[in-house]
Amino acid sequence: MKIVVSGDVNGQKIYELEEEVWDEVVELIKETIFVVHKEAVERAPVATGILRESIHFDFEEKEDFFRGLVKVGAHYGPYVEFGTRPHMPPVEPIQKWVEVKSRRFVRTKSGKQRWIKGKQGKEARSIAWAIAMTIKKKGTKEHPYLRPAWEKGLAFFERRLQEMKP
């Protein structure tokens, strides 16, 4: 087996591989993508579950090329990951978020749990407007979920690659 680090691009190592290790490296890339995907899903903030459910992976293979991708389908994924500058957001999605986040479980006298509706209607809209005005002034804070997942995946890849060397 021969794996040679031949340099780097933007701090990322470039590896030259002989053909006999190609299948092993492809399998390692797949395992790494599974690690990144799992970590991203676990770290993604949840209100409605749309962001978390939109995280998926894919593989692209050609004769001498293989790559794995972790993608986020929710259009607001980058805004969650990196935060935003001050701007006026649409109020309706924030109102839906307020309604979801203000729900709670209560325990009945019989010991069963049930949902209690949270803020609804005008009350939820009023809270949503207050949040929107804060975002207009301050923007939103970042909530990284992909970058830490990538870092964990990279550490996994490099550790396993070292184990592969004879």
Query: How would residue 16 be classed by pLDDT, with cut points 50, 70 and 90?
Result: low
- Under DSSP, the state recorded for 140 is B
Strands (E), 31-109: 55-62, 65-72, 104-107
For residues 105 and 68, the answer to whether their CB atoms sit within 8 Å is no
Average pLDDT score over residue span 113-126: 85
Task: Spell out the domains of the chain, with CATH numbers in brackets.
Answer: 3-78+143-164 (3.30.300), 85-138 (no CATH)
Between residues 110 and 59, the one the model is more confident about: 59
Between residues 24 and 58, the one the model is more confident about: 58
- Is the pLDDT at 63 greater than 90? The verdict is no
3-state class (DSSP) for residue 9 = strand
Predicted confidence (pLDDT) per residue in 128-163, tens digit: 999 999 999 999 999 999 999 999 999 999 999 888
- Is the pLDDT at 122 greater than 90? The verdict is yes
107 Cα distance to chain centroid? 33
Average pLDDT across the chain, whole number? 85
Predicted confidence (pLDDT) per residue in 91-116, tens digit: 999 999 999 888 776 777 787 777 77
Residue 18 burial (10 A CB sphere; 0-12, 13-18, 19+):
exposed
Average pLDDT score over residue span 57-75: 86
